[in-house]
Chains A and B, each alone.
Chain A
Amino acid sequence: MKNNHVREQDLVTSVVLFFAGLFIFKESVALSQISLSRDISFWESAGLTPGLLGILLVFCSILLFVQSVKKFEKGTLRSSMKEWAVGLYQSKAVRAVVIGALIIGAYTMILFRFLPFWLCSFATLVYLFIHLKATTWKKAAIISGIAVGAVVILFEYIFHVPLP
């Protein structure tokens, strides 16, 4: 699928990367100070490489910013950005992906932490099949049961890898 909003996306990412680069550089200065306080030379200090990468990121983000601003026609930057942001907010595809990410996030970050693997995986699989309208709930339960069962048998009993 063709991405029609590259310039808007580049503008936003260039700003994010600029601040990320600055943050990395600031942290690298602190790391270098820790190294210097332990009598480690500057060339060997822990902050040298992150500092260099921070500078490279800042430099690249400025270039990207300039490149993307040049792609806008004069006086259209603000309106184009607004149009893109509104389109993003109203997009059904974006909403579907955000919901998908939330479901997967709930599975990996919450359910996986507190429930046994087989239970959280079974519940998530059944829910995902129904949410994606892949099949009926009865078939979803059967497929999920077989998939989770196969994984548990393969790893727990054949590979002897303990599952959470």
Chain B
Amino acid sequence: MEYIIEAFLIACTPLNLLALIGSTLLGLVCGMLPGLTSTMAVALLTGLSYGLPTQTALIVVISVYVGAISGGCQSAVLLNIPGTPASAATAQDGYPLAQQGKAGLAIFLATTSSFIATVISIICVAAFTPTLSAWALNFGVYEYFMLSFFGIVICGNLTAKENPLKGWIAGFVGLFIAQIGLESINAIPRFVYDNVSLRGGIQLIPVMIGLFGFPEILNAFQRSGKKEIGELEKFNPIEGLRIIKNNIFNIIRSSFIGVSVGIIPGVGEDIGGWLSYWATKSLSKDPDSFGTGNPAGIIAPEAGNNACVGGALIPVLSLAVPGSTSAAVLLAAFYLHGYLPGPLLYTDSPDFVYKLCVYMVLASFAMWALALIVSRFSVKILGIRAELLMPVILMLCVIGSYVVRSYKFDVYVMFVFGILGYLMVKMNYPAAPFMLGVILGNMFDSNLRRGLLLSDGSLLPFITRPISAAFLVAIVLMLLSQLGVFRKISAWRKAKKAAQTS
């Protein structure tokens, strides 16, 4: 309770209040504009807020995250183009409702359900993180190595669109990038080639900004054209509140789906939105009305995707394994501001989780209020063309990469990883496992070598220790299933049986 009051008082100082409102607003606008993702917004703000006091910087990144996830619904409703992938499912019923002249109501429903779901997910963060952290205290070097490997494999599995192999490759390349620089045990330079700038290693923020911000800037060179935007009519808030009241169980169910999806490493908010939409449609008495402007079809995906915000933070805070791409970027932001998420977080910074929860509740309230105000200007904001926006974003990417260390080399790093990020997008390689690899690289390397040193080169502890063995079994099963080994065995058995019977 003491921590919660303290966090509330910190957030209520004029500077922090301004940061909270400004960042939430910025997040909303970023989420609203197709092409600017929540991950990009958090990555950019992490770099830009580096010079701010720690608590203010935390408020900034959390607020922009909450705002960006929610902002996507406005363009989904008005343009039928989700501002972020998380709002893709919202467009299914949001746009038809807007075409019926109820765009204002659709945005109200989406925003209110987002707010309620975020608060539910934050309650889950406060409830589950200590339990998971306490369990993770049993982790030793072997478990940490396996956990980092598991994170890469599952993230690769879930984020690669058609081929998990590409996700694993992206993760392994990310792990390799983290090996550049002085290694952590004996300070031997690796892959440095007499370049002094590389000795300190590749910094997270320029990589992050390059990977997630740069591809959209380059895309602006390819596309142009005007967008058709619908009009926003006035609506009756009482009608909106009545619909919310009638859908309260829908919101609670979707929130729990969102939290569960968010906890799984690598699965983004878009899956949370789609799963909630699917569940609501399946359980509805009138499933045929979905896709034609059913309010439940707006409430469910918005509650589902926003609940992922809290869900994704649970593994970040307790295990230091992010639940989504945006959460991976948040993890980097926490590291940058001196917080080390993981099992020891409650020992080192017992107040951190509670402060984070308070900031998130305040940010989600600000998001709700601001989204309703902003919706009046949505039509104008959505009219901004990418050609006008992207050059300014480019300048912010440069600044964001530079300000962390005031080092020009980081801007070059951002450019190189930006090109790599663009090529990865075009060739269907997911950026999330790559980023996760860069984050977990040091954990992977140091724990593997320390473990082998402790066991004198024996691999047995990786297999004999229960938690480590469980991770190993999960990794092997995942690799084999994705490579189609089980399918082949089953086909071979069937063929053998058929041969025996004939």
Q: A44-B452, A108-B412 are in contact. Are A128 and B51 (CB under 8 A)?
A: no
Task: Report the bound CA distance from A63 to B179 in whole Å.
Answer: 24
Contact A109–B172 (Cβ < 8 Å): no
B419 lies within 8 A of chain A by Cβ: yes
CA distance A48 to B408 in the complex (A): 31
Contact B218 A97 (CB under 8 A): yes
**A60's closest neighbor in chain B, by CB?**
B169
Q: Which residues of B contact A6 (CB under 8 A)?
A: 162, 427-428
Q: Which residues of B contact A100 (CB under 8 A)?
A: 217-218, 220-221
The stretch among B73-81, B316-324, B329-337, B388-396 that forms the contact with chain A is: B388-396
Asked if residues B403 and A161 are in contact (CB atoms below 8 Å), the reply is yes
Known: A113-B408, A132-B221, A161-B406. A40 touches B186 (CB 8 A): yes
Set of chain A residues within 8 Å of B398, measured between Cβ atoms: 107-108, 112, 121
Inter-chain residue pair count (beta carbon < 8 A): 172
Chain B, residues 186-219, CB within 8 Å of chain A (1/0): the string is: 1010110000000000000000000000100110
Q: Does B445 contact A (CB under 8 A)?
A: yes
Contact A155 B403 (CB under 8 A): yes
The residues of B that contact A124 with a CB separation of less than 8 Å are 391, 394-395
Contact across chains for A105 and B218 when beta carbons are under 8 A apart:
no
Q: Is the CB of A64 within 8 A of B166?
A: yes
Beta-carbon contact of B179 and A53 below 8 Å:
yes
CB distance from B175 to the nearest CB of A (A): 6
List B467-501 residues whose CB lies under 8 Å from chain A. 483
Given contacts A6-B427, A48-B448, A48-B452, 13 further A-B contacts (CB under 8 A): A9-B426, A9-B428, A10-B163, A31-B190, A43-B456, A44-B186, A49-B444, A49-B449, A96-B222, A104-B415, A108-B411, A161-B403, A164-B402
Interface residue range, chain A: 35 or more
- On whether A44 and B403 interact (CB within 8 A), knowing A57-B169, A57-B173, A125-B392, the answer reads no
Tell me which residues across on chain B come within 8 A of A69, comparing CB atoms.
none
CB neighbours of B222 from chain A (8 A): 93, 96-97
A99-B428 in contact given A48-B448, A112-B408 (Cβ < 8 Å): no
B457 touches A63 (CB 8 A): no
Chain B contact residues: helix, strand, loop or mixed: helix
Which A104-148 residues have C-beta < 8 A from chain B? Answer: 104-105, 107-109, 112-113, 121, 124-125, 128-129, 132-135, 143-144, 147-148
Which residues of A are interface residues toward B (Cβ below 8 A)? 3, 6, 9-10, 13, 17, 24, 27, 31, 34-35, 38, 40-50, 52-54, 56-57, 60-61, 63-64, 67, 93, 96-97, 99-101, 104-105, 107-109, 112-113, 121, 124-125, 128-129, 132-135, 143-144, 147-148, 151, 155, 159-164
Q: Which B residues are within 8 Å of any A CB, using their own CB?
A: 50-52, 162-163, 165-166, 168-169, 172-173, 175-176, 179, 183, 185-186, 188, 190-191, 214, 217-218, 220-222, 224, 385, 387-388, 390-392, 394-396, 398-399, 402-403, 406, 408, 411-412, 414-415, 418-419, 422, 426-429, 444-445, 448-449, 452-453, 456-457, 483
Minimum distance in angstroms from A135 CB to a CB of chain B: 7
**CB <8 Å contact, A13 and B427:** yes
Q: Which of B176, B185, B449, B452 meets A24, CB within 8 Å? A: B176
Q: Which of B50, B190, B217 contacts A50 (CB 8 A)?
A: B190
B482 to chain A, nearest CB (A): 11
Contact B399 A155 (CB under 8 A): yes
CB distance from A161 to the nearest CB of B (A): 4
